[in-house]
Amino acid sequence: MIEPRFADRFSDLFGRAPQVLASAPGRVNLIGEHTDYNGGFVLPAAIPQRTHVALAGRSDRKVQCASLQMDSAIVEFHLGEETRAGTWTDFVGGVTQALAGAGFGIAGFDVAVDSEVPIGSGLSSSAALEVALLRALREHFQLAIDDVAIARLGQRAENGLVGAPVGIMDQMAASLASEGTALFLDTRTVAFERVALPVDVEVVVIDSGIRHRHSAGEYRTRRAECERGAELLGVPQLRDLPENELSRADGLPDVLRRRVRHIVTENARVLLALAAIRGGDGVRLGALMDASHLSMRDDFEISIPEIDRLVELARAEPGVLGARLTGGGFGGAIVVLGRPGAAARFPVIAEAYHREIGQTATLLLPRGLS
């Protein structure tokens, strides 16, 4: 178990035992990419890899934080004086700033972070950190916030001090998703439902080994393009454009037309995927994942050739029903849907990928098979 070892590392860093241990999972998005900030639908699931937080309160307003992934160097700031540093500690400061903005008073604390979620993999390491920290603070300071409020505060932290214009999917998944189920989420209303995955399919997650390329700037650009498309079409958000009225986008500049087409058709695919899951139709779900990847590649332009090739290699294997890029894009991981045992083909995929691309792929789910 990670907790005793982690507690010992906290004691080594801060000279005392932690008072609270908390964690949150990373997530894989089965389908519904970039739809969340357009008010649309998403279908993520939790992964086994988690971010762990150990915390102890202080009597002053100082926050001391350390990450086992960042050489365990202790960084400090004072509550109410959070400033953007451009490092992982912005997520901690973003959380404390978001809590203050929501009217929650807390004292200082020492916190250590240990994460199993690969950074830059498109599996929401940032949201896992935000939610794990908020869970620890909720417990220690007896904060009256439920799991949805935790997700909202995590998003506020990232939109605020961190400066990333993300939607709420990642934080909702880290806060509410569970392994073995998909979390169907309406990001406008934050209504959600946990839906059991069909028993005759296996979800496989493969890290490409390529970290996000310019993802923050490109992410911001895609969001601005979507907002401009909605403005020109006279709808509040692209979620409000029905698929049967997609021809209205034909008069837009080509880039905006394709961005709009991705969002509108991706929203429709999420609803079809939900129906496929409920009906136990893995073949249909896989086909929708394939279509989603093509849309991300051609219309939303968030894939890269290396990811496309990894998807192709996975898709060519026996028992694989569908494969797609997952996460914000420009690198990261892919999610593969297959028949039970499909993950056993990972060494074949990884070998071909390394031979052709020169990168090392890592099997993240199912865990322990690589």
**Active-site residue identified among 36, 110, 170, 290:** 170
Compute the distance between CA of residue 15 and CA of residue 281 in angstroms, rounded to an integer.
54
Task: Output phi, psi for 341, to 5 deg.
Answer: 95, -5
Q: Which residues pair with 194 in a beta bridge?
A: 183
Q: Residue 62: helix, strand or coil by DSSP?
A: strand
71 is catalytic: no
CB-based burial, 150-164: b 16+ in 10 Å, e otherwise = bbbbbbbbbbbbbeb
Strand order in the sheet with 332-338: 320-326, 332-338, 202-210, 362-365
Amino acid at site 248: R
CB 229 within 8 A of CB 260: yes
Residues 6+ apart with CB under 8 A from 280: 198, 199, 200
Burial of 176 (0-12, 13-18, 19+ CB in 10 A): buried
Compute the distance between CA of residue 348 and CA of residue 316 in angstroms, rounded to an integer.
11
- For 226, 230, 260, 284, 319, the CA distances from 235, given in Å and listed in that order, are 11, 5, 12, 31, 42
Q: Residue 334: helix, strand or coil by DSSP?
A: strand
CB 67 within 8 A of CB 20: no
**Tokens (6 digits) for 46:** 């939790």
Neighbour tally for 81: CB within 10 Å: 12
For the CA atoms of 257, 263, 269, 274, the dihedral, rounded to the nearest 10 degrees, stands at -170
Q: What is the set of active-site residues? A: 170
